[in-house]
């Protein structure tokens, strides 16, 4: 099943994506709540109801929104691809680098990622596979971890690189308003290989491929990430885990490639789709 959130008459709605059409879940008697729709056992019910419905609207022209409006947690895994660790001069970790993103740091598909140009012009892109939790997970064994995946999506972990390195903690460089992106679709695990691997993961800047790898190259695969995180924190339905980026990021290129206004950034994962965003300067700094 593929789910989208979109704007409908000034309000947010959720729909099942069938080809180039969207079936509103409210018309099927289901709640406009993605976390409820990706709970265990729900995908088959919602998919069957959508397939039988004649209430369809064209995908073209819909304003798409972040697939989960306000995740309780957005947990990010750093240095999770070996070549990305190496390109930054970092050793291959034996335990993941983990940091959090706040909700205001993210935008949905089609929205501009904002460069804080008055204080930094080093906004970088990071193509990532996102996990959306479907059922509560605490102290989960790796062998059982995939049963807690509700869906997969796409993530651009936009990073303000000089602020990321101002201290030993990455929080500031990862949390400027509207620097990251999430969406547009939630794809339930039944449509993908176990652990969403191996799937090709790429990013493009103005049509040029700058990252090209496979999720099979993760140092800490999906199940391992969930197990490690659930040892520390309770993962709840709707929580998002961004699983790290492959090599090819802008700061490591020669010369460096940082995002500037007017650029178009695309993140693509095989079998999931494309997350597309433009880049603009943050107007807050013009006040």
Specify the pLDDT at position 89.
Answer: 78
pLDDT tens series, the chain, 287 aa: 999 999 998 999 999 999 999 999 999 999 999 999 999 999 999 999 999 999 999 999 999 999 999 999 999 999 899 878 777 777 888 999 999 999 999 999 999 999 999 999 999 999 999 999 999 999 999 999 999 999 999 999 999 999 999 999 999 999 999 999 999 999 999 999 999 999 999 999 999 999 999 999 999 999 999 999 999 999 999 999 999 999 999 999 999 999 999 999 999 999 999 999 999 999 999 76
Q: What are phi and psi of 42, to 5 degrees?
A: -85, -30
Q: In a 3-state reduction of DSSP, which class is residue 285? A: helix
**Pairing of the two strands 149-156 and 74-78:** unpaired
Ranges of each domain in the chain: 2-65, 74-286
For residue 275, the tally of other CB atoms under 10 A from its CB is: 27
Cα four-point dihedral sign 213, 150, 237, 12:
positive
CB of 101 closer than 8 Å to CB of 74? yes
Compute the C-alpha angle 18/23/25, nearest 5°.
125
Question: Two tokens at 38?
Answer: 């990706």
The domain 74-286 is placed in CATH, from the list 3.20.20.150, 3.40.50.300, 3.50.50.100, 3.90.850.10, at 3.90.850.10
């Amino acid at each position: 099943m593929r789910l989208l959130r979109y704007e409908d008459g000034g309000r947010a709605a959720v729909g099942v994506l069938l080809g180039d059409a969207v079936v509103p879940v409210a018309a099927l008697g289901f709640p406009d709540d993605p976390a409820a729709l990706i709970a265990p056992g729900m995908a088959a019910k919602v998919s069957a109801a959508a397939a039988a419905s004649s209430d369809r609207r064209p995908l073209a022209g819909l304003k798409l929104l972040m697939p989960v409006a306000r995740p309780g947690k957005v947990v990010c895994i750093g240095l999770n691809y070996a070549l990305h660790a190496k390109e930054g001069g970092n050793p291959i970790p034996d335990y993941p680098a983990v940091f959090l993103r706040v909700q205001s740091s993210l935008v949905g598909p089609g929205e501009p990622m904002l460069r804080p140009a008055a204080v930094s012009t080093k906004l970088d892109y990071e193509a990532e596979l996102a996990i959306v939790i479907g059922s509560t997970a605490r102290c989960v064994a790796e062998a059982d971890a995939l049963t807690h995946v509700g869906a997969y999506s796409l993530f651009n972990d936009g990073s303000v690189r000089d602020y990321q390195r101002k201290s030993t903690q990455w929080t500031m460089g990862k949390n400027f308003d509207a620097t990251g992106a999430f969406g547009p679709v939630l794809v339930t695990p039944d449509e993908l290989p176990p652990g969403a691997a191996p799937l090709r993961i790429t990013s493009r800047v103005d049509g040029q491929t700058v990252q090209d790898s496979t999720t099979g190259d993760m140092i800490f695969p999906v199940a391992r990430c969930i197990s490690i995180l659930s040892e520390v924190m309770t993962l709840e339905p709707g929580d998002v885990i961004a699983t790290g980026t492959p090599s090819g990021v802008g700061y490591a290129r020669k010369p460096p490639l940082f995002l500037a206004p007017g650029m178009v950034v695309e993140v693509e994962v095989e079998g999931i789709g494309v997350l597309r965003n433009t880049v603009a300067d943050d107007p807050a700094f013009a006040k």
